[in-house]
Each structure stands twice: as structure tokens, then as C-alpha cells.
Structure 1
Amino acid sequence: MRMPRALILIACVVLSACSGDGRDIRLRDMRSFSDGPDEFSILPNKALEAPADYAALPVPTPGGTNLTDRNPLGDAVAALGGKPSALIASGVPASDAALVSHASRSGVSADIRPTLVVEDEEFRRRKSRFTRIRLVRVDRYNDVYKRQSLDAHDEVDRFRRVGITTPSAPPGAR
């Protein structure tokens, strides 16, 4: 007795839905399937050198930074003529104070970050209902968040229709 191909396909899909433990709400699937190391996670330290003054060394902190640790973003900023210290978050800069006060004119929720974490996890849980049923691994992040993203060209067109000048936007839409 031969089983129809459709029945075999349905059985494979049902069995693949049962694989794994727990419910997977991750939408990004960027795992490496090779046995080797991830060459992008290895970051060699700078060369060791004796400091001019041992008393000026920072106090060691578990999990903290080290003088020989690389700082790729800071190195890039310094190479381009900027200040690497600007990357360290130290509150709102004076140049952005007017923007922050205008944006917070209707009040600011103090617990917005934990609230967004809970809401986003629930959103991903709803959108991942049928992600376990798949024959091929797929990165679904962009598909799931598509309705929450803006189309830059549509926004430029909308601003121009209202009369807002958009000098930095390209002259032709699309």
C-alpha cells in the first residue's frame, strides 16, 4: 500500500512543528551551522605596555573594561577626527536640550523601557505561532515588523504634499 505524497508532506510538517523544546519567539535566525569558531566574535587585545604611573591605573572591576581591550567604534571615531569620549553616554548634551524638552512636553513615562520590553515580547510571541512549522530556516524579522516600519519615500512625498521642505531628501521619489 502506497501513501500519497501529500500525506507524507503533512506528516513531515507536523513532526517538524513538534521539534525542539519550548516555544521559539525569536524571529531572527542568524545562527552559524558550522563546527568552527565564529571569527567575528574573536577580538584580539592590544599589545601590553608598562604604564608611566602605576598609581594612575584604574581599579579592576569584574566584567569591566581593560586598558588593553579594543574599542572598534572609539578607534573609528578617533581615526575620522572625532572624540571617542562622545560615545560614552553621559546624559543629554546641551545641543540637544531643546529637542528633548520639546519631545517631552506632554510628559514622559518613567517605565517606558520595561513596558516596551513586555509589549514587544508579547508581540513576538503572537507572531511566532507558526514559525516552528517550516521546512527551511527563514529570518522572519523584516516580515513581522513590516507594518511598523516607515517607507522613506512615502514619508518624503507626504511631507512635500503638506509643504514641508525636505532639502536632504533625493529630488525624485523612487
Structure 2
Amino acid sequence: MSKIEKATFAGGCFWCMVKPFDQFEGINSIRSGYTGGTVDHPTYEQVKSGDTGHMEAVEITFNPAVFPYEKLLEIYWQQVDPTDDEGQFQDRGPSYRAAIFYHNEEQMQIADRSKVALIDSGKYKKPIVTPILPAGPFWEAEDYHQDFYKKNPEEYKADREQSGRDEFLSKHWPE
């Protein structure tokens, strides 16, 4: 039996970071939450203030034998602006920065290689600034944030359209 691993990604608003991963065999769960900061059990309001050091993030449990970490990273890079260190799209400030949090040495190496490949691709004119950091405690967000796109499809769609995320992503990742 294959072991289950965790992957943790920050990419701005966590509402927009769930759906892209939530459609593949081998992905067991996706939870929205907070990581990277210094406050235990932070609330949404605390994180949003920018004073906790936490970023909005998703924690994915997955079976790497079915859905490898490399594929998660491919999806991740196609959800963020890796050249923006001040937030993502309409969401500005430290709690909305993009980051990859690795859970073991292998994930760190794979993430580093994927970042180098993205840099070498020339897809972006500005430098890739998304950091690759060791994973720390992950604090789940409040229930109303979990599976937001499923529970509030109209609000999710309107927020995503207003953010400019899809317009930016389609420019850099045409299908």
C-alpha cells in the first residue's frame, strides 16, 4: 500500500487554490488554512490583518503513487503569479503571498527543480520570486472557508472573475 503524503501551497486567496486540485484521482483531501507564521490557532481576521506571519494556504493529502508531487507542482505554478511577492492578483499583503512549503527533502528537491525549469522556460519576463520553504504547523481555516467553491458557487465565480487571476493565467498558460 502506498503512503499518503502532504503538500502545502500558498497562492493568494485559498478559495481559488482548492478547485484546481480537487478533480484528480490520488488526491485524498484539500483543506484551506494558514501556515508560515508565528500565531497558534489563528483566525481568518488575524491572518487577514497581516500581523501573524501566516499565509492563506491549502494542505493537500495525496497518494504519490497515483498522483506524483511533480504533477501537483505543475498545477500549482499554473495558479499563481510567481513574480509577485506582494500578494496575488487582487489580494494584497503578506497573508496572500505565494509559497511552496515542503514536507521532506525529496519534496524540496523536486520543488527546486520545478522552479528552475519554470525560470528556464522564459515564460515570465520578471524574476520568479515564489519561495520554497520548510512546512511548519498548518492551522485549518474556519468551516465556512472549506470547499468554498462548492458551497458558494456564485460568490466564488464572481470573486475569481474580479480578481484578474484567470485573465493573467490564460495569458501565461494558454490551453
Q: TM-score, normalised by structure 1?
A: 0.19
Structure showing greater Rg = 1
Q: TM-score, normalised by structure 2?
A: 0.19
Greater strand proportion: 2
- By relative contact order (CA 8 Å, sep 6+), the higher-ranking structure is 1
